[in-house]
Amino acid sequence: MLALVCPGQGSQSPGFLSPWLDLPGVQDQLEALSEAAGIDLVKHGTVSDAATIKDTAVAQPLIVAASLVTARLVLQDHAPAQVLDVTAGHSVGEFAAAAVAGVLQDGDAVALVTRRASAMADAAALEPTGMSAVVGGETAEVLEAIGVAKLHAANVNGAGQIVAAGDLEGLARLANDPPPRARVVPLEVAGAFHTPYMAGARDVFGPHARGATPADPVVRLLSDADGKPYPARDGAPHGRGREVLDRLTEQIVAPVRWDLCQATMAEIGVRTMIEVAPAGVLTGLARRSLREVRTVAVKTPDDLALAREVVAEHAHAATSSAGDLA
């Protein structure tokens, strides 16, 4: 089984889109997505500095646009439903995964993410908050320490990594008294994302999500809320698009349970994972948590050949299975 996964905020780096612009059509795709976002994504992906692309309002649409452009390059003429068994995204990457699954057009996904990013940036500016990765330690002890520090477990990523979020005093308490056998690493983010501190952002973003016109997913799509596929509804085997957007809205204040997404991939028998650009984080987690799964990180155009080979193998297998059933 083949999974395509889309990374979240923090995966970007200065100039990471530059080599992609040498490929035919990529500049045009990025310019179209820039128009949808109202932001010059080509500039931010090629010449903007680290501080600029760390800004939430820039980072989120930039990452989603990069994921979608590279996903289309990986899939080429293959329809996602023909070759993918499952797709998922980490945090803002859920929007890219939803577009891969057919819920949103690429431009609509980037436009919605831009609204989300702006609302989250505004919410983060209301009071000083932040996030820190807690690496190592026993999960129960880490979660207990986060609670004692009056923080929230914003991301439970698996592979011994949990992200704590909240006010700066609480983060300092956690750093000064870390859980046993764990270290606390401050993250360069603007605020406590995926916590109740983002309630204002959820409320601002909600009307934009409700105003969108989604389609139903055509590929099994995992939710960061519980790691499970969206449940089948009458005539919709992979859930309803409206439900996807409703849950993406609530996810602004809810923890990202990537550990549960990985558990579902293991349960359903995923054997290969492709991570689209800016790739590396999710395949890195998979190498520690899903050790039997083959991973392909599409970081540069040099990685396209292998990713396309994997897709072609799965397309051939799917065609052969359909022929056998006939």
Bin 304: left if φ > 0, else alpha if -120 < ψ < 50, else beta: alpha
The H or E element spanning position 141 is: helix 139-148
pLDDT of residue 145: 97
Give residue-wise pLDDT tens across range 46-64: 999 999 999 999 999 999 9
Catalytic, out of 34, 67, 91, 289: 91
pLDDT of residue 321: 58
Tell me the CA distances in angstroms from 179 to 31, 129, 258, one per residue in order.
46, 21, 21
Query: Please, what is the Cα angle at 255 between 102 and 185, to 5 degrees?
Result: 115
Kindly write down the DSSP assignment for every residue of 212-264, as one continuous string.
S-PPPPSS-BB-TTTSPBPPPBTTBTT--HHHHHHHHHHTTSS-B-HHHHHHH
pLDDT of residue 326: 44
- 8 A C-beta contact, residue 123 and residue 197: yes
pLDDT band at 316 (very low <50, low <70, confident <90, very high): confident
Q: Which sign does the torsion angle of CA 245, 248, 252, 253 carry?
A: positive
Other Cβ atoms closer than 10 A to 123: 26
pLDDT band at 284 (very low <50, low <70, confident <90, very high): very high
Give the CB-side neighbour count of residue 159, counting CA atoms within 13 A: 16
Give residue-wise pLDDT tens across range 137-166: 999 999 999 999 999 999 999 989 999 999
Cα 227 from Cα 260, distance rounded (Å): 4
Mean residue pLDDT across the chain:
95
- Mean pLDDT, residues 238-265 taken together: 97
pLDDT of residue 10: 86
189 secondary structure, DSSP code: -
166 secondary structure, DSSP code: E
**Residues β-bridged to residue 186:** 132
Q: What domains, with CATH codes, occur in the chain? A: 2-124+196-325 (3.40.366.10), 129-186 (3.30.70.250)
- Amino acid identity of 3? A
Give residue-wise pLDDT tens across range 160-204: 999 999 999 999 999 999 999 999 999 988 899 999 999 999 999
Q: Is 98 exposed, middle or buried (0-12, 13-18, 19+ CB in 10 A)?
A: buried
Catalytic, out of 152, 194, 238, 314: 194
Cα 247 from Cα 80, distance rounded (Å): 22
pLDDT band at 323 (very low <50, low <70, confident <90, very high): very low
Is 320 annotated in the active site? no
- 8 A C-beta contact, residue 158 and residue 133: no
Is 91 annotated in the active site? yes
- Mean pLDDT, residues 298-313 taken together: 97
Give residue-wise pLDDT tens across range 79-115: 999 999 999 999 999 999 999 999 999 999 999 999 9
pLDDT band at 74 (very low <50, low <70, confident <90, very high): very high
Return the SS3 of 55.
coil
